[in-house]
């Protein structure tokens, strides 16, 4: 790829003393799905690109968008669907996605086998816990309708995301609407088989996590954004190729991150990372983005008017 050239130019130009400092915020804490950032750093991908990255652990979409908006961070990972809604409702507009991490949304319904729930329609009359205001909650009606379930028959209960697995394991609720990557954790907690019903079965045009950058940075230092994105994608690829090493790197940088869990997560997200049409890592298909916006608008989650260009800077997207 082209990163080899970049490495040559920046490397010779400045050396390590001249590294550009940027701050990157992970999607949520330090878990397997975000490990690639540490991998890119540890493996020197960022440094080779002439960038010194300060990795901060994120705490969800709103906070990450706020950090980008306020200029405290230049790059962030976040749930792209949620971010689209924020942009569509006019809350946060000064950002653009520069690469997709997950081609499919990771939101899903999860439940334990003992509930007897195996398909979406079984949820009628049941209680489902979800993080308040999360994408899961917002998308649920759209998902339910497509799955042939009347959303009004399901009782959605808000709860802090850290409490979700416990609630399910204790059967305080009949199901969860959350990221499918926590399947393993739920299995551990409940000691039961876990049934996963990904939203992507019915909402196949929605993306999962994406890397975004500050709009101003894109216009002022396009080169930096490009180099950063490329290095990050390199890290992502490396992580997918070497889950154990990625998990080890993550654990070394953030000792609270458990290695087995991280390995599990990296493996679990593999199928969601590669593009359906064989495009390179990070690809954001303009048509799919347009369709995803249409779905969100069609379900009343945001008013009409948002265009793909307002949420994605396609000039960075690795061509298919």
Partner 1 sequence: MTESRVWSNAVLPTLGVIIAVTLWWLATAVFHIDPFYVPSPADVVETFFRTPGFLLQESWITIQRVLIGFAVAVTLGLVIAVVLGSSRTIERMALPVLAAVNAIPKVALAPLLLVWMGFGDSPKIVMVILVSFFPVIVSTMAGLTSTPADLHELARSLKASWWQTFVKVRLTWALPQVFVGLKVATPLAIIGAVIGEVVNPDHGLGSVIAGSSANSDTALAFVALVLLAVIGVVMFYLVAGLERLLVPWAKAISS
Judged by CB under 8 A, the stretch of 165-173, 211-219, 231-239, 273-281 that binds partner 1 is 165-173
Query: What order of strands is seen across the sheet that includes strand 20-25?
Result: 51-56, 20-25, 75-79, 209-214, 95-100
Sign of CA dihedral 186, 25, 292, 86: positive
- By CB under 8 A, what part of segment 251-270 binds partner 1? 254-258, 261
Query: Per CB under 8 A, which region of 3-11, 168-176, 197-205, 217-225 contacts partner 1?
Result: 168-176
* Residue 144 within binding range of partner 1, rule CB under 8 A: no
Neighbours of 113 (CB within 10 A): 12
Interior CA angle at 60 toward 58 and 63, to 5°? Answer: 75
Of 108, 121, 123, residue with least CA distance to 183: 108
17 binds partner 1 (CB under 8 A): no
Q: Which of positions 22-81 make contact with partner 1 (CB under 8 A)?
A: 23, 28-31, 54, 56-57, 59, 62-63, 65-67, 69-70, 72
* 93 part of the interface to partner 1, by CB under 8 A: no
Q: Which is nearer to partner 1, 124 or 189 (CB)?
A: 189
CA 149/CA 120 separation, integer angstroms: 7
How big is the chain by its Cα radius of gyration, in Å?
19
For partner 1 (CB under 8 A), the number of binding residues is 46
Please tell me whether residue 158 binds partner 1 under the rule CB under 8 A. Answer: yes
130 touching partner 1, by CB under 8 A: no
282-296 as b/e, with b when 16 or more CB fall inside 10 Å? bbbbeebbebbbebb
Q: Which of 166, 279, 310, 314 touches partner 1 (CB under 8 A)?
A: 166
Question: Tokens standing for 306?
Answer: 């948002």
Binding residues among 73-92 for partner 1 as defined by CB under 8 A: 86, 89, 91-92
Strand order from edge to edge, sheet including 107-112: 155-159, 127-131, 175-179, 107-112, 194-198
Binding residues for partner 1 restricted to 193-252, rule: CB under 8 A? none
Q: Cα–Cα distance between 100 and 79 in angstroms, integer?
A: 10
* Comparison of 30 and 107: residue with beta carbon closer to partner 1: 30
Q: Which burial class, exposed, middle or buried, applies to 273 when counting CB atoms under 10 A from its CB (0-12, 13-18, 19+)?
A: buried
CB of 147 to partner 1, least distance (A): 24
* Closest distance of CB 254 from partner 1, Å: 6
- Indicate whether 95 belongs to the interface with partner 1 (CB under 8 A): no
- Residues lying near partner 1 in the complex (CB under 8 A): 23, 28-31, 54, 56-57, 59, 62-63, 65-67, 69-70, 72, 86, 89, 91-92, 132-134, 157-160, 162-163, 165-167, 169-170, 172, 182, 185, 188-189, 254-258, 261
């Amino acid at each position: 790829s082209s990163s080899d050239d970049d490495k040559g130019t920046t490397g010779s130009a400045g050396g390590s003393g001249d590294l550009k400092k940027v701050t990157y915020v992970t999607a949520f804490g330090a878990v397997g799905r975000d490990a690639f950032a540490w991998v890119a750093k540890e493996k020197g991908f960022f440094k080779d690109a002439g960038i010194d990255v300060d990795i901060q652990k994120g705490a969800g979409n709103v906070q990450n968008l706020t950090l980008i908006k306020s200029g405290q961070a230049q790059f962030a990972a976040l749930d792209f669907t949620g971010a689209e809604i924020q942009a569509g409702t006019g809350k946060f507009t000064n950002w653009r996605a520069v690469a997709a991490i997950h081609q499919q949304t990771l939101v899903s319904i999860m439940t334990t086998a003992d509930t007897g729930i195996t398909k979406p329609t079984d949820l009628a009359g049941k209680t489902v816990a979800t993080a308040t205001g999360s994408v899961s909650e917002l998308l649920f009606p759209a998902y339910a309708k497509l799955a042939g379930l009347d959303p009004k028959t399901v009782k959605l209960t808000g709860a802090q995301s850290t409490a979700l697995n416990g609630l399910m394991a204790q059967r305080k609720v009949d199901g969860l609407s959350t990221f499918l990557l926590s399947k393993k954790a739920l299995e551990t907690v409940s000691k039961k088989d876990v049934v996963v019903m990904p939203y992507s079965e019915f909402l196949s045009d929605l993306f999962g996590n994406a890397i975004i950058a500050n709009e101003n940075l894109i216009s002022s230092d396009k080169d930096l954004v490009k180099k950063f994105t490329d290095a990050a994608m390199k890290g992502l690829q490396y992580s997918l190729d070497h889950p154990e090493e990625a998990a080890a790197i993550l654990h070394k940088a953030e000792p609270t991150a458990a290695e087995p869990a991280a390995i599990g997560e990296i493996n679990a997200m593999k199928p969601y990372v590669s593009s359906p049409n064989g495009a390179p890592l990070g690809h954001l298909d303009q048509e799919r983005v347009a369709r995803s916006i249409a779905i969100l608008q069609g379900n009343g989650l945001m008013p009409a008017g948002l265009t793909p260009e307002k949420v994605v800077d396609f000039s960075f997207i690795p061509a298919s």
